[in-house]
Amino acid sequence: AIILRTGIKITEELLSKAENLLTISRTGGGVDNVDLESATKHGIIVTSSLGVNTVSVVEHTMALILAVSKCIVLLDSEVRKGNFKIRYKNLPVDICGKTIGIVGFGRIGSGVADKCRYSFNMKVLAYDPFLPSERKREFENWVRFCELDELFGEADIISIHLPLNNQTKGMIDKKYISLMKTGAIIVNTSRGGVINERDLTEALSKKKIAGAGLDVFENEPPDPSNPLLKLDNVVLTPHSAALTKECVRRMAVSAVERVLMVFEGKMPPNIVNPEVLNLPKWKHLKR
């Protein structure tokens, strides 16, 4: 078995040599660092810790929303330089009563929506074409599901919660960023590759949008020459939304438990390549 963290890529080259490998168990929710097609071909069950990190990532998302809106990092830096008069520029803005647009309405996206609605009385827009209609009906009293261009044009805050795959790579580009209000901010705690970083950087540097909070990047770690590192209207964290003391423990325990289930001939939860179960070698799993 392999218990896999985010920074390591599992490729066909590796899997073709792992003759005795039964399962790959991710400590996180994303599996974009695993060649799923290859894993399935080699009869390897791949599982994720989906749901285990929800609370931590929701909290981190809210922290970034507040840090960007309240200019926390900039104001902290200015105070340390002795510029206490920065307070008179009235830079922070309130988020209470504003409109948030959530792209990807799974566990984390809906969790952020819940915090924004009930803690800050915000209006909630959402885009998720893959969310079943019955799930959408659960939120019909306080969430308005709409198209992506409408969401980007109306929201004061945009929060991205998308997996990285062939459909979402570079999905948030100039076409949508150009629709944002000049006072709007965007936050991404999912995967850096879903946003076209060059287009976002251009909008931020030219002040076409107010700011961004990014926990993830197209390339990690970001290159020292990345212009995002020099912008004072961006708050950056090192892909650490789920790396709280509590969440790291939960993810590790969950990953080990799923491995043990496979070893014991039991069906583990959160299998991301369920077609592998059609192979004769897995017919014995207790379902």
Pick the catalytic residue from 191, 197, 250, 258. 191
Rounded alpha-carbon distances, angstroms, from residue 20 to 26, 75, 216: 18, 55, 34
Question: Is 249 considered catalytic here?
Answer: no
Query: Is 239 a known active-site residue?
Result: yes
- What's the chain's Rg over C-alpha atoms? 21
Which residue in 248, 229, 247 sits closest to 238, CA to CA? 229
> Which of 147, 99, 146 has its CA nearest to residue 124?
99
Active site residue 60: no
Angle, vertex CA 242, rays to CA 122 and CA 30, nearest 5: 95
Q: Within 10 Å of residue 123's Cβ, how many Cβ atoms?
A: 17
| CA–CA–CA angle 23, 24, 27 (5° rounding) | 140
Annotated active-site residue in 12, 220, 264, 275: 220
Q: Give the catalytic positions in this structure.
A: 191, 220, 239
